[in-house]
Chain A
């Protein structure tokens, strides 16, 4: 470990995340929809003979029924077990025997499965993925063992990490009504009771072609993908009972909330605040674009406003940061964090943070800084082309979180169009303490 980072502080947001006619979006991306409603996105990169095959479901932990937290993620694990056509474990074994690797991940708004293989094995991957979309056969003994695995996963990710436990409590306080307040992996007391019925109910409700997005990235052509997709996914009927994703929405948040989490394993205390914030919405991403730039201006790197004030002009903090997880189906958060220097109390750190934010609202955005940020955002589009998997993930997150291919395409220009006034307006809107949770992570013994 070189230095403090957002990762070591456990601050990386998990919330980071429909086309009738073929759309040729830019020189790399093609999209279309199968007759059964399955959306398809093809991202071409012919530099290496490899392909990333992904199926994303518009179903995540925030779609779970009350009382069954963690079932979206648990089902993701169980999807590697027995199906009508494959033995338990045969899916991954087959991928490996073909020189590929496979895995899956679950977030609040989506669950995704992927395999990375030689491009001539794409058909086999589709055949297996189509099979487990509808043919899962769950066995009670395997469910019990795999439930132990997800409990150990929770131990590893959460119970062993004070920063993760703190964040879990803080999210629960941030959301008064929405499921974003419940951890993706689940509350432990509900996880231990998850069973076959819970898993199958979630599976039957959400796993269907008309609730899925196929993303294929790499050394493939759109025509070849279309032919294979029609062959393997095409025969699966749409789920006629698929409902719109209507989740409990947040009431107006009118009361500032504060919490203190103490843990003997905390060596470096810090203050973290999240503000409820609007997310990117299809056709209306301008505010989110401004918030995205605001996070860069305030708290991304050495030249940001918070770093300048708290790490350079004064030595109040050893680390500062601002984060905005704009890609989300529902209301997201804008986060700021200050890790105080030795001898600086959390109270002093928070007061200093608030002074910086207040000063920023008075003085506004430095024009040169804004220009540097836009230059970096332009360049990011070039660097991103080197990593086709990250482009695939970008589309997967967008399309499962209420956006379209056109929205993804429009995003870079919307970022470039953000003005200093837009950033300031976004800051005035979002930095509202009545919608915020301020948390202190502290050691058990208060030494301040």
Chain B
């Protein structure tokens, strides 16, 4: 039992990076670029690959195809069926993870120095020559469908789907990348083959490597691993137009504790006011125990186990979101307190003391993130995905420190929008009527 758990979506708010590590840009003979941190202390390498676009490149009527395709990458490749592939991977003690989000298809690999070539060859086959055998398709499809049926009765998933649908509408962000029972049931092998070619191409790739590998070794690895991918893939969708109408949307679901998601328009890192907003979010609900919402909703009133906010700077939309969960007979008060805090910060801003404390935390915590090969590989591939410069880590804290109280309070007045702060509540809340639309 942890005292509290930060939800996964906080990762969206986490900003990349630091100074003491040396990141080198490596360009392979074949022209593939990667960022490398060499560290030979432990005899393994962490490799992170991102294909921009993720599940957002798929057609609406094929929703879920990229997810199913991604799940099948490790289910047979080259001459190996699913079981032969798994035995080969396990025999090398390599770890390959394939996942997909709205913005990226991600491959995370860790392999030992002692069998690196064999591990990379195996990984290559899964990326370049996945088999999509019929029996594997049906086996994995059944797993995905089972998950979809469970999602339909899970308040957290019900809330996410409702929230995304209301905010993003017909844009790919507006529906779950897992697809629906209907769309996933209808997918064919041809659909999967096409999704593979569309999602995994060299024109959208970012790579990082950290650990026991040299520049020259990485250069050769990049070409052998990724050189055979198609040069171009499917077109990326345009930006979303997030819509926040304010009010409360209630989805009736019989469960004792209501699950709440809320949000309003956000801000991207390219905006000069981003760091001011980032600090405001930290003070509002991003900063764990010290945040205003945690103080007001949990510490003072005991209305929840956790309340959080985050700035989601996604490729195609920016929102300022949050979540809370409270018993059905208490959730109305939690929503009311959140609304009041939103309005208070918009009207009165933050104090110098809050600003100073936020800066001390954010700048002090930043260098502590860079504490392992796997972690660093993740951070620096994320920097590439955000289009940040390779020396970003060295300047990031300066950007935090440059925010003045006047900046922060100006952004609070203009960005915070209590009228558009929109809530989705899943449960059987007492005293909360649906008010939107």
Any B CB within 8 A of the CB of A169: no
Any B CB within 8 A of the CB of A24: no
Any A CB within 8 A of the CB of B214: no
Which chain A residues border B139 with CB–CB below 8 Å? 311-312, 315, 318
Q: Is the interface of A mostly helix, strand, loop or mixed?
A: mixed
Per-position 1/0 for A275-305, Cβ under 8 A of B = 0000000000000000000000000011100
Any B CB within 8 A of the CB of A376: yes
| CB-contacts of B1-16 with A (<8 A) | 1-4
Any B CB within 8 A of the CB of A266: yes
Which residue of chain B is the closest to A266 with respect to CB atoms? B153
Any B CB within 8 A of the CB of A382: yes
Which residue of chain B is the closest to A145 with respect to CB atoms? B302
- Bound Cα distance from A375 to B88, whole angstroms: 12
Which chain B residues border A372 with CB–CB below 8 Å? 87, 90-91
**B4, A47: Cβ atoms under 8 Å?**
no
- Bound Cα distance from A301 to B138, whole angstroms: 18
Contact of A8 among B3, B91, B147, B259 (CB under 8 A): B147
- Known contacts A98-B364, A301-B90, A375-B93; decide if A342 and B290 are in contact (CB<8 Å): no
Any A CB within 8 A of the CB of B289: yes
Shortest Cβ gap from B340 to chain A (Å)? 18
**A103, B368: Cβ atoms under 8 Å?**
no
Any B CB within 8 A of the CB of A116: yes
**B143, A153: Cβ atoms under 8 Å?**
no
Any A CB within 8 A of the CB of B436: no
Interface size class of A (residues with CB under 8 A): 35 or more
- Known contacts A48-B370, A185-B1, A387-B372; decide if A92 and B44 are in contact (CB<8 Å): no
Which chain A residues border B142 with CB–CB below 8 Å? 315, 318, 341-342
**B87, A103: Cβ atoms under 8 Å?**
no
Interface-centre pick from B142, B152, B155, B362 (highest chain A CB count, 10 A): B142
**A379, B112: Cβ atoms under 8 Å?**
yes
- Number of interface residues, chain B, beta carbon within 8 A: 83
Which chain B residues border A218 with CB–CB below 8 Å? 371
**B93, A376: Cβ atoms under 8 Å?**
yes
- Known contacts A372-B87, A372-B91; decide if A99 and B151 are in contact (CB<8 Å): no
**B364, A99: Cβ atoms under 8 Å?**
yes
Which chain A residues border B231 with CB–CB below 8 Å? none
**A97, B357: Cβ atoms under 8 Å?**
yes
Per-position 1/0 for B338-378, Cβ under 8 A of A = 00000000000000000001001111111110111110000
Which chain A residues border B180 with CB–CB below 8 Å? none
**A339, B1: Cβ atoms under 8 Å?**
no
Which chain A residues border B290 with CB–CB below 8 Å? 92-93, 96
Any B CB within 8 A of the CB of A149: yes
Any A CB within 8 A of the CB of B254: yes
- Bound Cα distance from A339 to B100, whole angstroms: 24
**A160, B43: Cβ atoms under 8 Å?**
no
Any A CB within 8 A of the CB of B266: no
Which chain A residues border B371 with CB–CB below 8 Å? 47-48, 50, 218, 388
- Bound Cα distance from A116 to B154, whole angstroms: 33
Per-position 1/0 for A147-185, Cβ under 8 A of B = 111111101110110000000000000000000000011
Any B CB within 8 A of the CB of A232: no
- Bound Cα distance from A339 to B371, whole angstroms: 38
Sample 24 A-B pairs with CB under 8 A, ordered by A number.
A1-B151, A1-B178, A2-B147, A3-B71, A47-B39, A47-B372, A49-B367, A76-B1, A93-B357, A96-B357, A98-B360, A99-B365, A107-B1, A118-B364, A152-B330, A159-B255, A265-B154, A265-B254, A268-B146, A311-B139, A372-B87, A385-B42, A387-B372, A388-B371
Q: List 15 additional A-B contacts (Cβ < 8 Å) besides A148-B303, A184-B1.
A: A8-B150, A48-B372, A49-B20, A76-B1, A103-B3, A152-B325, A153-B1, A156-B306, A160-B325, A218-B371, A268-B147, A268-B149, A303-B83, A312-B139, A375-B90
* Nearest 3 A/B pairs, CB to CB: A99-B364, A148-B302, A379-B93
